[in-house]
């Protein structure tokens, strides 16, 4: 257990922004982990929306709820000083154009809330446009801020 984690979080005024994690690599691993959980759950819903998987309303609703929750998490792992280290595809623009990045981070969370709400209706026709909106938001941000 990396029990030092919070020590620095609370005294963040005198520590680098990744300091809620024990080390920058943990911040990178954290954002990657949260992104993976989000992506796996979103993909399951997207596969139903595109007809690649049979529609199951409960699985769609549950998966969308997990994706929505996970969408709130990665951003804590993008503090200053977390651009290098571990195998990661973050572009420098994340930190040099932070306002735009934060805007996209807000956007994906908002679209995930809509997708989760749509999935709760059990109506595939409501899910489809919400999946497209999430997918578009993922792509826009990755195109701008993720290395190939």
- Chain residues that interact with its own copies, rule: CB under 8 A: 1-7, 9-11, 20-21, 26, 29-30, 32-34, 36-37, 39-40, 42-48, 50, 52-54, 56, 58-59, 62-63, 65-66, 69, 73, 135
Our CB check for its own copies shows the closer of 12 and 92 to be: 12
Q: Which is nearer to its own copies, 50 or 102 (CB)?
A: 50
Q: How far is the CB of 80 from its own copies (least distance, A)?
A: 18
Q: Give CA 39 to chain center in angstroms.
A: 8
**Distance in angstroms (rounded) separating the CA atoms of residues 21 and 42:** 26
DSSP-derived secondary structure letter, 116? H
Smallest CA-to-CA distance from 36 within 70, 10, 5 is with 70
The DSSP symbol for 90 reads: B
The smaller minimum CB distance to its own copies, of residues 92 and 136, is found at 136
- For residue 97, the minimal CB distance to its own copies (Å) is 25
Query: In terms of residues, how long is the chain?
Result: 148
């Amino acid at each position: 257990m990396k029990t030092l984690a919070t020590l620095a979080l609370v005294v963040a005024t005198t520590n680098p922004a990744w300091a809620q994690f024990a080390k920058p690599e943990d911040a990178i691993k954290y954002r990657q982990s949260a992104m993976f959980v989000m992506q796996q759950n979103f993909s399951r819903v997207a596969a139903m929306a595109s007809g690649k998987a049979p529609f199951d309303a409960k699985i769609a609703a549950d998966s969308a709820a997990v994706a929505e929750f996970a969408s709130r998490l990665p951003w804590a792992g993008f503090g200053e000083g977390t651009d290098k280290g571990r195998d990661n595809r973050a572009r420098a623009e994340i930190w040099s154009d932070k306002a735009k990045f934060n805007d996209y981070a807000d956007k994906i969370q908002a679209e995930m809330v809509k997708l989760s709400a749509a999935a709760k209706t059990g109506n595939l026709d409501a899910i489809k446009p919400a999946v497209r909106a999430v997918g578009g938001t993922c792509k826009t941000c990755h195109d701008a801020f993720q290395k190939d």
